[in-house]
Chains A and B, each alone.
Chain A
Amino acid sequence: MRKTAFPLLVACAVSAASSAIAQEQQHTPAPPRQIWSFAGPFGTFDRAQIQRGFHVYREVCSACHGMKYVAFRNLAQPGGPDFSPAQAKQVASEYRINDGPNDKGEMFDRPGRLSDYFPSPDPNEQAARARFNGALPPDLSVIAKARGVEAGLPRGLFDIVTQYQEGGPDFIYAYTTGYEDPPADAKLSEGQFWNKYFPGHRTAMPPPLLDGQVNYTDGTPATAEQYSRDVSAFLVWVAEPHLEARKRIGFQVMIFLLVFAGLAYLAKKKVWSDLH
């Protein structure tokens, strides 16, 4: 009996100490989890939603944020907003692209083509910082994967089973709709805004979305909340353009592996049956 006591004691001490330290932390609230059409094993993008999201990006976000890894041709590729090639071409032609040098050695502007990438609003980081009081609006190409929500334990472990991968859009939605008046004791300096979900609460981005700011033609309510939802979904497609193919192929792979595992088990049983 005495021999078993020591390891048990150590185990108890360890678990007691770790629950004691779990108390501290908590400054910014975790963004609430939203329901997204692309979540889960059979998730797909809502075409109309990411088309609207693209609209919001173009009307609002693109004034300050680039999207340099996305090409106009991507707008027409399968698994995305599903614009027709003609529509994508039309979008491209509305942008001016700096190209060159030409035969005379000069740079020139021309209308965009399908193979061009979305031009960034500022020519370089320094120009952007100069324009925004020292702050740098990040490029949005992979922003939906570059932001996340820390789930902690034990929730983080359940996320493996429930396939939660939507921390990025959850954060973007919470952030773009999370502006509020600062608490009385909080001081904001010039160009700072108070956001409930931004780490440290102080952000340099002014509230980006206002009701009625973007025209929706499909009858979807033109509210800041709806814009935020749509642009978050759009940015997921931007960050993970092959998401639909990944989940579709994943299901096929799973079916194959499950059948294979069944056969492998039966084969093993058959082979071993003459052993004992």
Chain B
Amino acid sequence: MAGHGQYQPKNPILKWIERRLPVLSFMHDSFVVYPVPRNLNYWWTFGAILSFMLVVQIVTGIVLVMHYTPTASGAFDSVEHIMRDVNYGWLLRYIHANGGSMFFLAVYIHIFRGLYYGSYKEPREILWILGVIIFVLMMATAFMGYVLPWGQMSFWAATVITNLFTAIPGFGRAITLWLWGGYAVDQPTLQRFFALHYLLPFMIVGVVVLHLWALHHVGQGNPAGIDVKSDRDTMPFTPYATAKDNFALVCFMILFAWFVFYIPNYLGHPDNYIPANPLQTPPHIVPEWYFLPFYAILRAIPNKLLGVLALFGSIAVLAFLPWLDTSKVRSARFRPLYKQFFWVLLAVCIGLGYLGSKPAEGGYVIVARILTAYYFLHFLVILPALGYLETPRPLPASISEPVLPKKSGAAVAMGARAPERKG
């Protein structure tokens, strides 16, 4: 998205188009010659993987909608119709259901990569906040999608989550009734969730475009966390990053296919194969795995309103990260203390996930409280303090310095040659 105009189409038709709408040079600038730091590791391939997952979910979702019925009496039947009678309907549904999980797996890796390498720091604050918005939209989309099969977990998850809004003082009950479209989770709720489940992914696409725009404007971060200083620090997006992203994507698809074809119901709950029954509460209401840490935070706090605030706060705090982290050094590679706290935070989040899957009783609640407290402590106390207490290790002079052999004439020539390969 930087300077334009290097690209000159030869074909007369393309020339005609380019003069009227410079979309070809735009694509060329964004996905071919776009300079990428040459030291990116495989944790940086998850952006491409996430784009792929978004397309997979939208394409399979649109085909599923052609066979799905968003009614309380017909939803469960229509899902079974898809599984049994629609050509490859089972494949579409299993891809879509497991695709949601894979999408979240990839986004969590993407987020923790950002935390480790300080991807949220100046000048990438807006890029990061757009990412948090995408994450929130993803959560809303996934939650409403889970309701659509209208099984027991669908119904009771919808009941539990919509009931959170009753905690709002004063208007809580009114807001919840408004969300339900009635006096309980029922047909109107299902139908509006269906409408929103179809709408939100396209909003995600919109925010992803902004996310990429911001990314291409400020440039990608990198594992060293230092700015690009010269052409020697970068390489053209195509073929280098494309080849690497492609390999990582295929590896990710192997994992994805493993779940879809061999253990398609592993990540789901058996209760969701029982049709929704408003008169019978399941013994344990559990959300999908990717919501478990947040569910643990919600249940850790005895006061309903405070629990809901903690739940939303645990996500909202991420948006303030660029200002909570006071260290000037981006990458944890050069932050000996932060590096350790990063791994503790990761362990705490996984621990919260485990506790979210357990009943909220006895020792589980106590541990969940400790971990919840630590989660907020990490962002609100440890991170701001670390910037002052920690002595970072010396940063390399440039990105290419640790990669290229020092001061060898041949290396300079090779480094300089790289960008010529474009086109």
Interface, chain A (partner B; CB < 8 A) = 3-4, 7-8, 10-11, 13-14, 17-18, 20-21, 24, 41, 69, 74, 138, 141-143, 145-148, 153, 159-160, 163-165, 167-168, 199, 239, 241-242, 246-247, 249-251, 253-254, 257-258, 260-261, 264-265, 267-268, 271-272, 274-276
CA A274 to CA B416, docked complex, whole Å: 11
| B363 touches A (CB below 8 Å) | yes
Q: Which residue of A lies closest to B81 (CB)?
A: A69
Query: Which B residues touch A163, using CB under 8 A?
Result: 262-263
Residues of A within 8 A of B251 (CB): 261
The 5 closest A-B pairs by CB, nearest first: A250-B261, A21-B363, A146-B273, A148-B270, A264-B247
Contact A17 B366 (CB under 8 A): yes
Residue of B nearest to A243 (CB): B90
Whether A165 touches B265, Cβ cut-off 8 Å, given contacts A17-B370, A246-B91, A250-B257, is yes
A223 and B254 alpha carbons, distance in the complex (Å) = 43
Q: A14-B348, A268-B246 are in contact. Are A165 and B263 (CB under 8 A)?
A: yes
Counting chain B residues whose Cβ lies within 8 A of the other chain, the interface size class is 35 or more
Interchain Cβ contacts under 8 Å between A and B, 13 examples: A10-B348, A13-B370, A17-B367, A17-B370, A143-B273, A145-B273, A146-B273, A165-B264, A168-B270, A251-B261, A267-B246, A267-B247, A274-B421
16 further interface pairs, Cβ-Cβ under 8 Å (given A24-B362, A242-B90, A275-B38): A7-B341, A69-B80, A146-B274, A159-B263, A160-B263, A163-B262, A165-B262, A165-B264, A168-B270, A246-B90, A246-B261, A250-B260, A254-B261, A260-B250, A261-B251, A275-B418
Do residues A257 and B250 form an inter-chain contact, with CB atoms below 8 A? yes
Give Cα distance in the complex from A147 to B274, angstroms: 9
Complex contacts, A142 vs chain B, CB 8 Å: 80, 273
Q: Which of A4, A17, A160, A257 is B257 in contact with, Cβ under 8 Å?
A: A257
Output the nearest chain A residue to B337 by Cβ-Cβ distance: A3
User: In residues 343-366 of chain B, which contact A (Cβ within 8 Å)?
Assistant: 343-344, 347-348, 351, 354-355, 358, 362-364, 366
Q: Is the interface of A mostly helix, strand, loop or mixed?
A: helix
Known: A21-B363, A250-B260. A147 touches B243 (CB 8 A): no
What are the residues of chain A within 8 A of B271 when measuring CB–CB? 146
Bound complex: CA of A259 vs CA of B290, how far in Å?
31
Contacts of B235 in A (CB 8 A): 275
Verify if B374 is at the interface (C-beta below 8 Å from A).
yes
Known contacts: A148-B270, A163-B263, A241-B84. The answer to whether A18 contacts B351 by CB under 8 A is: yes
Q: How distant is the Cα of A186 from the Cα of B258 in the complex, in angstroms?
A: 45
Residues of A within 8 A of B262 (CB): 41, 163, 165, 247, 250
Contact yes or no, A271 B243, CB < 8 A: yes
B160 within 8 A of A: no
